[in-house]
Amino acid sequence: MFVLLVGLLCILDAAHSARILGVFPAPVPSHYILSNTLMKGLAEKGHDVTMVSPFVDKIPPKNGSYTNIVLTGFAEEHERMVKEINVFEMEKKGILALLPIFSSYIEMCEQTINHTDVQKLIHSGNKFDVVIVEMFINDAQNVLAPHFNAPLVLFSAVGVNTWINQLVGNPQPLAYIPDVFFGLSGKMSFFQRLLNTVAYVGEQGMNYLYMLPQQEKLVKKYFPNGPRLYDVMYNASILLLNSHPSIHPPVPRVPNMIDVGGLHMKPPKPLPKDLQKLLDGAKEGVVYFSLGSYLKSAFLAEEKRQIFLKAFSKLKETVLWKWEEDSLPGQPANVHLAKWLPQQDILAHPNVKLFITHGGFLSTTETIYHGVPALVIPIIGDQMLNAGELVNQGIGLSIRFQEVTEEALTDNINELLTNPEYTKNAKSRSKIFRDRLVSPLDTAIYWVEYVIRHGGAPHLRVAGLDLPWYQYFLLDVIVVVSVATLVVLFVLYQSIKKISSVCRKQKKQKLN
């Protein structure tokens, strides 16, 4: 009887187990942290998971089935490109400096599809119940979903923005939703709204005139018998967003946009003994400085490096600096270095009083979650937007990288360390972030399983996706109403003109 019961439970469990393919080609460690957390979470639920990414999972999940297809060489090549381009100097060149990076990601998209192990997967005849693709200038990879006859789930490492709204028919009010590359708030001046509109038009033009045609070429090359890219792009079942109202202001969301911001957050673990001793003994508090996993402090120019060293040397607080080399010339006594640091566990320590960060989305999420004030030095991408939000929420201050001087850095650090309002606001925002009915990871898993249970969940798809652009923007209605109005005005004008003429003739006849 016991054996029969166990067998029945195994059968029921297998019935609920799904085959899930995840494609996450971005060679950026912070992106991998998010995607890996999601895919391992699905595996732990008993699903059969296959994950395509540039990184090796050193601690695979204990439950379920987990296959790691590694895009060998991607991470190393990307790190070389970042160092070669010198991302720290990109702000001087403006938004056009991003074009080479965009172009490289199109090449990376093809390299992913053409990778030996991915080609084996494509031609393997395997079946999947759902395909999850991270959005990162890789639209051609969305065609893997219809190739495997599976629903498509999109995953975005950032929140709502102009790049993704169109994919699910989400409204895009340019009057209060700022462009991801500008550090603007929802309350914009006339000039800022003008700039926001021009940026939107420019980005959409670049997307439809260059980016998407390049992606369509890849689809035709590698999936000659597959569907058109444009038929797949707008057919995602759900869109998982690494966002939450505690991070960014509330904006419109159609039903299949799901907030899962903070899904990578975990309860703090004990720190390594030497680090625990350092932080416990920092009676004046700790300033934690990290530029994340994508940027590296070791790439800083000598001039900027000296600015940080001089500013830190003035502090009575202990400074913990993520520094990727073995030594740092001129290192002050209160500055301690490490090539890698467990950021979440450090921010959870009560002695950490300030986080100096580049404003990446994971770092922004973690500083809010742990209620630690931040000094943001944004450098690239959405970091300007994230910095602006932390400033607007009263959680931190921001300095543009090119404007970092010893005086500006010192003044901002002292303001954040001595003004208790920043800590108060950070703790308040942390409570909002944590106040959820269900954890973000469980939310993401639920919705992926929901898509599988309901055959792609087409009932969540808004009708606007099926409308031609001129109908979506009511241009046909505007034209008809405008023409009708002009016709009515013309008829009225002619009628008044004719009546006026008759009246003049009658008056003339009376006078005669």
Q: Would you give the DSSP letter of residue 458?
A: G
Element (H, E) at 335: strand 335-338
Alpha helices for 314-453 (secondary structure H)? 343-347, 361-370, 383-392, 406-418, 420-434, 440-453
Is residue 174 within 8 A of residue 196, CB to CB? The reply is yes
Is residue 313 within 8 A of residue 334, CB to CB? The reply is yes
Candidates 213, 118, 198, 115; CA nearest to 162 is 198
Q: Annotate 21-30 with b (16+ C-beta within 10 A) or e (fewer).
A: bbbbbbbbbb
Alpha helices for 237-382 (secondary structure H)? 273-280, 302-313, 343-347, 361-370
Name, in order, each residue with C-beta under 8 angstroms of 88's C-beta and a sequence gap of 6 or more: 295, 299, 300, 301, 304, 379, 401
The torsion angles phi and psi of 463, rounded to 5 degrees, stand at -65, -25
The domains located in the chain, with CATH, are 14-263+439-466 (3.40.50.2000), 273-434 (3.40.50.2000)
Is residue 131 within 8 A of residue 138, CB to CB? The reply is no
- HEC string of 312-325 equals HHCCCCEEEEECCC
Helix/strand/coil for 209: helix
Sheet (strand 152-156) strand order: 65-70, 48-53, 19-23, 130-134, 152-156, 238-241, 257-259
Which residues share a beta bridge with 354?
287
Enter the pTM of the model. Answer: 0.87
Q: State which amino acid sits at residue 372.
A: V
Cα distance between residue 339 and residue 33, in whole Å: 18
Per-residue pLDDT tens, the chain, 512 aa: give them: 433 443 433 434 443 789 999 999 988 888 899 999 999 999 999 999 999 999 988 888 877 789 999 998 887 777 777 666 666 666 655 555 566 666 777 888 999 999 999 999 999 989 999 999 998 888 999 999 999 999 999 999 888 887 788 889 898 888 888 877 776 777 888 888 898 888 888 888 888 888 889 999 999 999 998 899 988 989 999 999 999 888 888 888 999 999 999 999 988 899 999 999 999 999 999 999 998 877 778 788 889 999 999 999 999 999 999 998 888 888 999 999 998 899 999 999 999 999 999 988 899 999 999 999 999 998 887 788 888 889 989 999 999 988 999 999 999 999 999 999 999 999 999 999 999 999 999 999 999 999 999 999 999 999 888 888 788 888 999 999 999 999 999 999 988 888 887 787 777 777 66
Is residue 20 within 8 A of residue 46, CB to CB? The reply is no
